[in-house]
Amino acid sequence: MTVVAKPQARPARPFFSSGPCAKPPGWELSKLATESLGRSHRAKIGKSRLGLAIDLMREVLQVPDTHRIGIVPGSDTGAVEMALWTMLGARPVTMLAWESFGEGWVTDVNKQLKLDASIISAPYGEIPDLGTVDFAHDVVFTWNGTTSGARVPSGDWIADDREGLTFNDATSAVFAYDMPWDKLDVTTFSWQKVLGGEGAHGVIILGPRAIARLESHTPAWPLPKIFRLMSKGKLAEGIFKGETINTPSMLAVEDVIFALEWAKSVGGLSGLMARSNANATALERIVSDRPWLGHLAKNKATRSTTSVCLTVAGADADFIKGFAALLETEGAAYDIAGYRDAPPGLRIWCGATVDTADIEALGPWLDWAWESLKQ
Ligand SMILES: Cc1ncc(COP(=O)(O)O)c(C=O)c1O
C-alpha cells in the first residue's frame, strides 16, 4: 500500500458544515453582549435587543418597509410551519420540491393539512420547469435546496400579478442571494446558516398580501399558540417589534446581533454575497481540476453557491462516511458528508462566514483522503 503524503497546511477554520455553519470570522463567546441575559425578555433591555436584531436584519437584507419581520419559535421549521398552518387553505396550493426539505413541506401540506396540493418536483441536483407554475395557486418553494445544492436562479419566474401567495423557505439562501421582496409574500429562515448564528429561532418576513391573507382567512384546523400571528381578530403587531410569542434565547439573539454587525463590517449584503461567491468559485476550481469530483447540480445557473454538493466517482455511502471521518480526525474538515437523504457525496458550505483561504486549503486534503481511501 502506498503511503500518501499528508498536506502540510490545514484550513485555519475547518468548519464546512451546512448548518449550523461556521461562526463569523473573529467570533468568540466572550465578545457577545450579556446585559440582556438573566433578565426578562419583556424588560426594556430584552425588547430593545430583540428590536435591534429585527432592525439589523432589515438593514442587511434590505427588506422594504412594506414587509414585517418577526422572530418566532422553532427555527426555520417553526417559521415555515407557522406560515403553512396559518395561511394555507384559502385557495389551491402548488408545492415545488427538489430535495429533502421541500419534500418535507409536501408531506406536511398533503398528509397533515390534507390539502391535496399539486406537486412539481425534480430529482436531486435539478430544479423543475418553473414556467409551469400556476400563480392562481399559493406556491410553496425552497429557494436553495440545502441537501441537493440546486437553487432557483432568481425570482424572475414569479408572476407580479399573482393571485396566490408565494412561500419562500430561504434558510440557506438569504444573505447569499438577492431576494426580490416584492415577489415574496412569505419568507422564512433561521440564523444558523449564512449568518453562522444559532438555531432555536426562526424568522418570518411577511409582505402586505400575506398580512391580508392572515386578516381575511381563518384556517379550518386548530392552531397551537406558538403558530398564532393573530390576536383578538387582529395581526399581533408586537411580534414584529420584538415581543416574541414565547420566551426566546437571549443568548441566541445576542449571537445573531454579533453576526449581523460582522455582516455590516464586511459590506452588508453585497459583501456577504461576494464572500460566498468567492468561496464557491474557489471550490469550483478544485472540482474542475479533479476528474473524480463533480457537481451534483450540473447546471451552473441553478447551482448553489452556499451548500455546494459534490459527487465522488464510484463512492457509496460507506466510502463517503469514511472520507468525512478521516478528514474530521485530521482536523482538516468537519461535517462534509452529504445529507442523509441525498445521493452519497460531499457537501461543502461556501456561505459568507467561511474564508476562501480555507476552501483553497481544503483541496489537497480532499486529494489526500481520496488517495488514502481508494486503495
Ligand atoms: C432549506 C431548509 N429548510 C429548512 C431547514 C430546517 O431548518 P431548521 O433546522 O433551522 O428548522 C433547513 C435546515 O438545514 C434547510 O436547509
User: What percentage of residues in the chain have a pLDDT greater than 90?
Assistant: 98
Written as one letter, the residue type at 337 is A
Q: Which of 39, 67, 101, 80 is nearest to 227 (CA)?
A: 80
Q: How far is the CA of 76 from the centre of ligand 1 (A)?
A: 6
Cell (9 digits) for 165: 401567495
Q: For ligand 1, is residue 168 a contact (CB within 6 Å)?
A: no
What pLDDT sits at residue 2?
64
Give me the phi and psi of 307, to 5 degrees please: -95, 90
What pLDDT sits at residue 95?
98
Question: DSSP class of residue 112?
Answer: I
- Per-residue pLDDT reduced to its tens digit, 82-102: 999 999 999 999 999 999 999
| Residue whose CA lies nearest to ligand 1 atom number 16 | 146
Q: How far is the CA of 101 from the centre of ligand 1 (A)?
A: 7
Q: 96 vs 106, 111, 152, 162, CA distance in Å?
A: 8, 16, 11, 16
What pLDDT sits at residue 1?
54
| Whether the predicted pLDDT of 303 surpasses 70 | yes
What pLDDT sits at residue 136?
98
Cell (9 digits) for 200: 432555536
pTM more than 0.85: yes
What pLDDT sits at residue 36?
98
Q: For ligand 1, is residue 19 a contact (CB within 6 Å)?
A: yes
Strands 346-349 and 307-312: antiparallel
Q: How far apart are CA 201 and CA 172, in angstroms?
A: 15
Q: How far apart are CA 130 and CA 110, in angstroms?
A: 21
SS3 118: strand
Q: What is the mean pLDDT of residues 211-240?
A: 97
Left if phi > 0, otherwise alpha if psi is -120 to 50, otherwise beta: which for 277? alpha
- Per-residue pLDDT reduced to its tens digit, 39-84: 999 999 999 999 999 999 999 999 999 999 999 999 999 999 999 9
Question: DSSP class of residue 209?
Answer: H
What crossing angle do the helices spanning 250-265 and 44-61 adopt, rounded to 10°?
Answer: 40
Give me the phi and psi of 135, to 5 degrees please: -85, 10
Spatial contact of 352 and 194, defined as CB atoms under 8 Å apart:
yes
| Whether the predicted pLDDT of 327 surpasses 90 | yes
Q: For ligand 1, is residue 181 a contact (CB within 6 Å)?
A: no
Q: How far is the CA of 52 from the centre of ligand 1 (A)?
A: 24
| Residue whose CA lies nearest to ligand 1 atom number 7 | 76
Q: How far apart are CA 202 and CA 71, in angstroms?
A: 6
Q: For ligand 1, is residue 101 a contact (CB within 6 Å)?
A: yes
Burial label for 75, CB within 10 Å (0-12, 13-18, 19+), is buried
Q: How far apart are CA 52 and CA 242, in angstroms?
A: 8
Q: What pLDDT band is residue 375 in, cutting at 50, 70 and 90?
A: confident
Q: Which of 124, 125, 144, 128 is nearest to 95 (CA)?
A: 128
**What stretches of 222-355 show up as alpha helix (H) in DSSP?**
250-265, 268-288, 317-329
Mean pLDDT in the chain?
97
Give me the phi and psi of 259, to 5 degrees please: -65, -40
